[in-house]
Amino acid sequence: MAATRPAPIRSKPRKGDRLELRLEADRRRLLDLAAKESGVSTSAFVLERATLAAQEVLANRTTFVLPPEHWDAFLRLLDQPVQPVEGLAAFLAEPSILEPE
């Protein structure tokens, strides 16, 4: 009976989808240089930056759609008087971790 090798252990799941794009040589050089300066591959650089841009676009949407069965409940919540949230004012008065010290 022949011995079988165990399957290699992968720390990250394999990526299955591909996205290809065509670009001018000067843009490619720019992306390659920026990726090198960031210490990552060009693919990783482009994926990270494109993902951030996509999240920003979606976060800034001004229109959203609710199913009809949720619309009335949403309007009722908007019409309720403002309720203070305990500790929120103190929390917002603290310095942000995003601001330099």
Residue 89 lies in a domain: no
How far apart are the C-alpha atoms of 31 and 51, rounded to whole Å? 15
pLDDT score of 11? 64
Residue 73 lies in a domain: yes
How far apart are the C-alpha atoms of 32 and 58, rounded to whole Å? 27
pLDDT digits (tens, 9 = 90+) for 33-62: 999 999 999 999 999 999 999 988 888 787
pLDDT score of 7? 59
pLDDT confidence bin for 24, thresholds 50/70/90:
very high
Residue 63 lies in a domain: yes
pLDDT score of 3? 55
Residue 17 lies in a domain: no
pLDDT confidence bin for 22, thresholds 50/70/90:
very high
Quote the DSSP letter at residue 81: P
pLDDT digits (tens, 9 = 90+) for 54-95: 988 888 787 878 898 899 999 999 999 988 899 999 998 988
- Is the C-alpha dihedral spanning 60, 62, 65, 68 positive or negative? positive
Give the range of the structural domain holding residue 57, as residue numbers without chain letter. Answer: 25-80
Total of domains in the chain: 1
Quote the DSSP letter at residue 64: -
Residue 10 lies in a domain: no
Residue 65 lies in a domain: yes
How far apart are the C-alpha atoms of 38 and 34, rounded to whole Å? 6
pLDDT surpassing 60 at residue 2: no
pLDDT score of 32? 97
